[in-house]
Amino acid sequence: MKNLPRHVALIPDGNGRWATRLGLPRMAGHRAGGKVLSKAIGWFRDAGVEVLSLFCFSTENWDRPREELDGLMRLFDVLLRKNFSRFGEEQIRLRWLGRPDGLPKRIVETLRTLEEDTANFRDFQLCLAINYGGRDEIVRTVQRIVKLGTAPPNWATLTGQLDTADLPEVDLLIRTSGERRISNFLLLQSAYAEFCFFDCHWPDFSQKEVHQALKDFQGRKRRFGAISP
Ligand code: IPE
Ligand code: MG
């Protein structure tokens, strides 16, 4: 396929509503969503996308009830462990976007180990945004630059300190469940992203929607502030 997005950012929204619609507890929606997430990694990779960023848990999600937070943390732990060997087998470079504070130690350790173990893979990169917020990333980046004490940053040196350092900017942002907003995901990286929204809840997302989103993207005229020739 020609003219594909290099970097796709995905906001898998609607797990809770999917469960509620079926008369199930919200966690059942998160578990179903987790299964689809695992499959979606392969769908995007097979389509030729180089970087996939998944918004798994935001710095604002801590405002949810304790029971759901505990369930989500357990689910992240289980999913990371279940997929642990997969990253090596499929040569997926894993990158974690976010801050450690508040996350269970085990999850932070698993994420850091996976980042180290997969650092040399080049073909496909998976960014897991867990305890990530765009504003929080900007603050952490500025703090890092101040601490380095180097010359005042320009755009290149500033982006070089973001969690996404060295990655291409987001070309396509996809969100499910009918919401049409960015919700503090990859704010700076999405400056020129194309947006694609689906009404289905995340657990109902399939390979069909992946192809629809990519086809939609291929039809967009990106001008980056310039005018068409
Ligand atoms: C997305 O589904 C998953 C996470 C944010 C962890 P939601 O939990 O936001 O589901 P809705 O939006 O309440 O339906
Ligand atoms: Mg939601």
Is the pLDDT score of 1 beyond 80?
A: no
Which residues have C-beta within 8 Å of that of residue 221, sequence separation ≥ 6? 228
Q: What is the token pair recorded at 105?
A: 């130690």
Print the domain residue range for 74.
7-133+170-218
Compute the distance from residue 227 Cα to the ligand 2 centre, in Å.
36
pLDDT of residue 99: 98
Q: Is 13 in the pocket of ligand 1 (CB under 6 A)?
A: yes
The pTM for the full model equals 0.98
Is residue 101 domain-resident? yes
Q: Is 134 in the pocket of ligand 1 (CB under 6 A)?
A: no
Task: Give how many domains the chain has, as a whole number.
Answer: 1
Which residues have C-beta within 8 Å of that of residue 145, sequence separation ≥ 6? 153, 157, 158, 161
Compute the distance from residue 17 Cα to the ligand 2 centre, in Å.
8
pLDDT of residue 2: 85
Tell me, yes or no, if 13 is annotated catalytic: yes
**Most ligand 1 atoms within 8 A of CB, residue of 10, 11, 13 to mutate:** 13
Q: Is 140 in the pocket of ligand 1 (CB under 6 A)?
A: no
Q: Which ligand number lies closest to the CA of residue 29?
A: 1
pLDDT of residue 63: 98
- Residue 15: what residue type? N
Is the pLDDT score of 229 beyond 80?
A: no
Compute the distance from residue 213 Cα to the ligand 1 centre, in Å.
21
Instruction: Report pLDDT digits (tens) over 160-190.
Output: 999 999 999 999 999 999 999 999 999 999 9
Q: What is the token pair recorded at 135?
A: 């504003």
Average pLDDT, the chain: 97
Is residue 223 domain-resident? no
Compute the distance from residue 44 Cα to the ligand 1 centre, in Å.
21
Distance of CA 199 to the CA centre of its chain: 19
Give the separation between CA 62 and CA 69, rounded to whole angstroms. 7
Is the pLDDT score of 115 beyond 80?
A: yes
Is residue 162 domain-resident? no
Q: Is 212 in the pocket of ligand 1 (CB under 6 A)?
A: no
pLDDT of residue 228: 83
Is residue 159 domain-resident? no
Is residue 75 domain-resident? yes
pLDDT of residue 130: 98
Is residue 41 domain-resident? yes
Q: Is 34 in the pocket of ligand 1 (CB under 6 A)?
A: no
Q: Is 205 in the pocket of ligand 1 (CB under 6 A)?
A: no
pLDDT-derived band at 145, boundaries 50, 70, 90: very high
Bridge partners, 51 (sequence order)? 7, 125
Instruction: Spot the catalytic one: 61, 117, 184, 204.
Output: 61
Is residue 158 domain-resident? no
**Most ligand 1 atoms within 8 A of CB, residue of 10, 11, 17 to mutate:** 17
Mean pLDDT, residues 115-136 taken together: 98
Compute the distance from residue 128 Cα to the ligand 1 centre, in Å.
16
**Residue given tokens 């009830």 in the structure block:** 65
CATH number of the domain within which 84 lies: 3.40.1180.10
Is residue 37 domain-resident? yes
Instruction: Report pLDDT digits (tens) over 44-95.
Output: 999 999 999 999 999 999 999 999 999 999 999 999 999 999 999 999 999 9
